[in-house]
Structure 1
Amino acid sequence: MPADLTFRRQLLRRKPLASFEDDAEHGGLRRTIGLFQLTMIGVGATIGTGIFFVLNSAVPEAGPAVIVSFVIGAITAALTAFCYAELASAVPVSGSSYSYAYATLGEFAAYAVGCCLLLEYAVSVSAIAVSWGQYLNDLTQRLFDFQIPAAIAAPPGAGGYFNLPGAVLVLLCCLLLVRGAKESAVVNTVMVLVKLAVLVLFVALAVTGFHSSNLHPFAPMGMAGIGAAASTVFFSFIGLDAVSTAGEEVKNPRRTLPLAIICSLVVVTTVYVLVALVGVGAQPWTAFSGQEAGLSAILVKVTGASWPGALLSAGAVLSIVSVVLVVLYGQTRILYTMSRDGMLPALFHRVHPRSGTPVAGTVAVGTLVAVLAAAIPLDELADLTSMGTLVAFVVVSVGVMILRRTAPDLPRGFKVPGYPVVPVLSVVFCCYLLYKLPTHTYLLFAIWMALATAVYLLYSRHHSRLQPAGDAPDPALHP
């Protein structure tokens, strides 16, 4: 066989569906997570600090019609969420869109998507951890009139020398993840319920100051403003894909995974729309521009008391903790799956016999992310999170269409409604948002992918578990 043909087949070989099922049953991870806890993982990864502050940037773009922008964002998120739900029910394993790409698009495409996810998770969790010190300082200032010195509460370039709170937060979350997936899910559930309670309390208090006159004019910037605000708020829906990283630790995954994805979307959308509706009804839309701690400021105006500010700051602090915990969890599971397939060194898929978790991989990830959070200002890398996320979304939507054609009889616990319109629309919208990203983001992404490609060529393709099998095609995918 010619060498160039062998190389091409290496790039395009697909992992047999039977191998996914065998890995899931004998991989070493324990099925301890139920529907409610998995839904809370999705909600915890999605509702971060964004909703506490996004109105300040979105309302000036759309006015009171920001409510419509949130609905548009939810519809867009639903397009991709439905695609995730179908693939999660058909290929119920860890690894999220990396695994789905391996089953549909081939090895190199899967590897590239996995690298996109690792980039997305590492940059986003580091950036989120960096901001934790700021919110923690705001809370301690309100409660105890005390602040952590800026020198150790912010990274270089952001007014400090070493972000100690961010590093400590990452390491504490890693210690919890090492103890076990079940324990981590329980703690996350508690934190998510608390921050949901804080947002529900905001709605209950702010609605007392609701005035319909604040909704006029409803769309001062027209449809252009509504569309611009929709792009702004869409990224508040990113995180639902975290549900699919838990495929091998979920009870009855073919049923639980799609249900958890859809339930997470419903909860998140309901909370966002209610917060937006009550927020713009409680004060004129022109008051949002330049307003700091928007939700806190609204409650102070409505109640005339200062305690709501401390309450909302506490909610933001808990939001960050739960997001860091869930994103670190997702990253370790993607690394676990890629390592098990031979794409990365074996370190990342070694499971501790007592805890049933990839301890070494979790420690390695936690150490790297803690260093990033402590010592590197990540403002310039923020758009890379969007790039990695949108690429993964496109792959999942395309994967649904490919798997429908190549494996039509594969058992699915959920099917995308309105097929093929829904996955096509998902691809179109994601490509539009990719087009809107700045040029420097593409440059940084290209550098990252060049490094990742070098690793694949020098290591991954030679260590792939499919390599000894002679690149035999999967009969399930090639009927």
Structure 2
Amino acid sequence: MKLKKELNLMNVFCISTGAMLSGLFILPGLAYALAGSAVLASYLLAAILALTGLLSQAELASAMPKAGGTYFYVMRSMGSAVGTVYGLITWLSLSLKSAYELLFIGTFATFLIDINLAPLVWAVGICLVFLAINLVGVKEAGRVQGYLLLGVLLVLIYFCFQSSSSVKAQNFEPMRGKGLGSMLAAAGFVFVSFGGLLKVASLAEEVKNPGRILPLGMILSLLVITLLYLTVIFVTIAVLGVNLGGPENSKWPLSAAAEIFMGKAGLVVLGIAAICAIITAANAGIMAASRYPLALARDEMLPAFFNRINHKFRTPHVSIFITGAVIIAALFFDITVLVKAASSVLILTYIFACLAVVVLRESRVQNYRPPFRCPLYPWVQLAGFVGFTVLLFKIGMTGLITCSGLAVLGFLVYWFYGRRAASREYALLHLIERITAQELTSHLLETELKDIIHERDEILKDRFDHLIEDCPVIDIAPAVTWEEFFAMAAEPLAKDLHVNKEQVYNLLIEREKESSTVLNPFLAIPHIVIGGEKHFDILLARCREGIDFGKNAPKVHTVFVFIGTKDERPFHLMSLAAIAQIVENTDFEKKWMAAKSPEALRDIVLLGKRKRQG
């Protein structure tokens, strides 16, 4: 059973932005303790690096909008072992991030509400509520995100406008004492704030028109959240100064700043806004994390029960419940460990996204066709790889050890369970094949990508598609004459239509003698009529060195042979129109000559842009 496609641009924006808002209420005080007022530079650096990862992820998500997000891309680019390790650590990373967000909700709730409940109890209760919401459906969860996000944004805008009377320029003076190393360490520490981009990518399969909406929603979200972060943190530093890093203010810095110029009411309002913001992030985390076990189970890297879809709500209920159990278990960990582990794995995620784009592009997999292509390739990926690696090591040993431990756990799951089903073809093999000139691949990856394009673009196959899927394809290396070519073409066409081979050959020869069927220096479309009713077939052919159609005709490389009965004349004309649209695509000739196999030639026709008959 398929997941519902019901997320629009506003849903994508709200889920991504809401998932990134939590860091604004949780981390500024802790980051200020590391970098001083240079924490603004830390957030800006983290946002710039997040942009490099976003552009890579946006390309991958637009090409392969499947549940599991970056896991799916890594699996298809670098293979089952790397994909399984990556998918599991990303699932656990998102779960850990949701856990620390839920703990902060519990802490805020204890501070604001006079009820004798421990923060852990609040965290567990809210987790269970959001598990129920996600079970009902992603659209419902996305709608909740939208309402909460709107309220939080309005409060933050009001906070910034009201702060003008309490801003003190001298509060920025201590920024010189921390140094570059502290600024980089803080950038690594707060990078987890930009995890919403990863979360929304994992929901790609449930997005309408994902080729356009996903990249646009992700880019808009990052721009808005970066501006918001820098503005609000600037105001908070200007109001609190060195007190921002104090033991009390570091827990809820925005509330402490609001209390100075808005009184007790400001503290309460910002506290409620913080709870709403962190709830949106925790909800998005549950929503996104639950899609990773689903994707792993689809690839048989985890047991099949993870892949179960609820018949009523069409949501992955087993995966949601197990993700919830992992999050509740993580609530018992130290919060600093949770933040560093989540940041470390998130940074690793962006590194893999950059590498996946490089592997897929350089492998020249024909059916890798992202509607959105990352600009300035490969410099964006190179900058991201270097920057993320520096941040990863600046976070410290706690994050690295946790990240390594999760990677070992993922490899053990692959080795003892997933390895038995690890027969999937991946782009790295195509890249090695291209470099070494050895034949290492079949057409499995290309076929899977073709099916994804059909689903992504909501292509409804018509009769022409079904005909091309089954028609004969011949690929000729040396140059041949037109008579030799027709002899080659006659046999498979005669076999398909159960007619005499010599009859087909003679009809082709007679038709060509009447007038040339060469339409341009690259293309010819011979066509003949046979007796009978309701028979029609097409043959696709490529000749690398060219077919010689005579002194007055050039050597052509592409031939579509039509054969049919008189009553199929309307379909004959429709097929001509379809081919005319396909060959008009600007890169048709380049793709046709670069195709590796007869099946690759077939895919070029099947995926060519054209209007389909209803």
TM-score by length of 2: 0.66
Structure ID, larger Rg: 2
Does 1:370 find its partner at 2:343? no
- Post-superposition Cα deviations, 1:402-435, rounded to whole Å, max 9, x if no partner, equal 1111236532222222211111111111111222
SS state of the match for residue 419, structure 1?
Answer: coil
- Post-superposition Cα deviations, 1:38-96, rounded to whole Å, max 9, x if no partner, equal 11111111111x21243323345544443333222211111111111111111111111
Does 1:148 find its partner at 2:105? no
Number of the residue aligned with 2:21: 47
Task: Indicate if the aligned counterparts of 1:167 and 1:371 stay in contact, CA closer than 8 A.
Answer: no
Number of the residue aligned with 1:13: none
Equivalents in 2 of 1:446, 1:296: separation in Å? 36
Gaps of 5+ in 1: 1-26, 141-145, 155-162
Number of the residue aligned with 1:143: none
AA aligned to 2:136 is R
Gaps of 5+ in 2: 426-439, 450-594, 597-614
Number of the residue aligned with 1:259: 216
Task: Indicate if the aligned counterparts of 1:60 and 1:289 stay in contact, CA closer than 8 A.
Answer: yes
Equivalents in 2 of 1:414, 1:365: separation in Å? 31
Number of the residue aligned with 2:417: 459
Query: Quick check: 309-318 or 440-449, which moved more?
Result: 440-449
Task: Indicate if the aligned counterparts of 1:69 and 1:230 stay in contact, CA closer than 8 A.
Answer: yes
Does 1:288 find its partner at 2:244? yes
TM-score by length of 1: 0.83
Percent identity, aligned pairs only, is 26
Does 1:101 find its partner at 2:59? no
Distance 1:178 1:215, change over 3 A: same
Shift in Å at residue 386 of structure 1? 2.1
Number of the residue aligned with 1:56: 29
Shift in Å at residue 134 of structure 1? 0.9
Number of the residue aligned with 1:86: 59
AA aligned to 2:328 is A
Task: Indicate if the aligned counterparts of 1:72 and 1:230 stay in contact, CA closer than 8 A.
Answer: yes
Distance 1:448 1:411, change over 3 A: closer
Equivalents in 2 of 1:195, 1:124: separation in Å? 20
Distance 1:382 1:281, change over 3 A: closer
Number of the residue aligned with 1:185: 142
Task: Indicate if the aligned counterparts of 1:116 and 1:391 stay in contact, CA closer than 8 A.
Answer: no
The 5 Å alignment of 1:121-160 reads: 121-140=94-113, 146-149=114-117, 153-154=118-119
SS state of the match for residue 319, structure 2?
Answer: helix
Equivalents in 2 of 1:135, 1:446: separation in Å? 32
SS state of the match for residue 251, structure 1?
Answer: coil
Does 1:242 find its partner at 2:199? yes
Distance 1:371 1:109, change over 3 A: closer
Equivalents in 2 of 1:178, 1:308: separation in Å? 35
- Post-superposition Cα deviations, 1:362-415, rounded to whole Å, max 9, x if no partner, equal 223223423443x55555444221222122111100011111112365322222
Equivalents in 1 of 2:189, 2:402: separation in Å? 22
Does 1:165 find its partner at 2:122? yes
1:346 to 300, 304, 308: 304
AA aligned to 1:244 is A
- Post-superposition Cα deviations, 1:231-256, rounded to whole Å, max 9, x if no partner, equal 34333223211110111100001111
AA aligned to 1:148 is N
Number of the residue aligned with 2:284: 326
- Post-superposition Cα deviations, 1:165-193, rounded to whole Å, max 9, x if no partner, equal 11111111010011111111101111122
The 5 Å alignment of 1:14-25 reads: none
Which structure has greater helix proportion?
1
Query: Quick check: 83-92 or 230-239, which moved more?
Result: 230-239
Number of the residue aligned with 1:389: 346
Does 1:314 find its partner at 2:272? yes
Which structure has greater strand proportion?
2
- The RMSD of aligned alpha carbons is 2.5
Task: Indicate if the aligned counterparts of 2:188 and 2:392 stay in contact, CA closer than 8 A.
Answer: no
- Post-superposition Cα deviations, 1:327-353, rounded to whole Å, max 9, x if no partner, equal 111111111111111111111111122
Equivalents in 1 of 2:26, 2:19: separation in Å? 16
Distance 1:225 1:462, change over 3 A: closer
Equivalents in 2 of 1:441, 1:65: separation in Å? 22
AA aligned to 2:362 is R
AA aligned to 1:325 is N
AA aligned to 1:299 is A
Task: Indicate if the aligned counterparts of 2:19 and 2:284 stay in contact, CA closer than 8 A.
Answer: yes
Equivalents in 2 of 1:131, 1:76: separation in Å? 26
Task: Indicate if the aligned counterparts of 1:123 and 1:378 stay in contact, CA closer than 8 A.
Answer: no
Shift in Å at residue 221 of structure 1? 4.1
Equivalents in 2 of 1:329, 1:59: separation in Å? 30
Distance 1:65 1:132, change over 3 A: closer
Equivalents in 2 of 1:92, 1:262: separation in Å? 16
Number of the residue aligned with 2:12: 38
2:295 to 324, 327, 337: 337
Equivalents in 2 of 1:203, 1:184: separation in Å? 29
Distance 1:108 1:314, change over 3 A: same
Task: Indicate if the aligned counterparts of 1:119 and 1:384 stay in contact, CA closer than 8 A.
Answer: no
Number of the residue aligned with 1:400: 357
RCO higher in 1 or 2 (8 Å CA, sep ≥ 6)? 1
Task: Indicate if the aligned counterparts of 1:93 and 1:246 stay in contact, CA closer than 8 A.
Answer: yes
Equivalents in 1 of 2:265, 2:160: separation in Å? 15
Equivalents in 2 of 1:226, 1:441: separation in Å? 17
Distance 1:449 1:34, change over 3 A: same
SS state of the match for residue 290, structure 2?
Answer: helix
Count of aligned pairs between the two proteins: 431
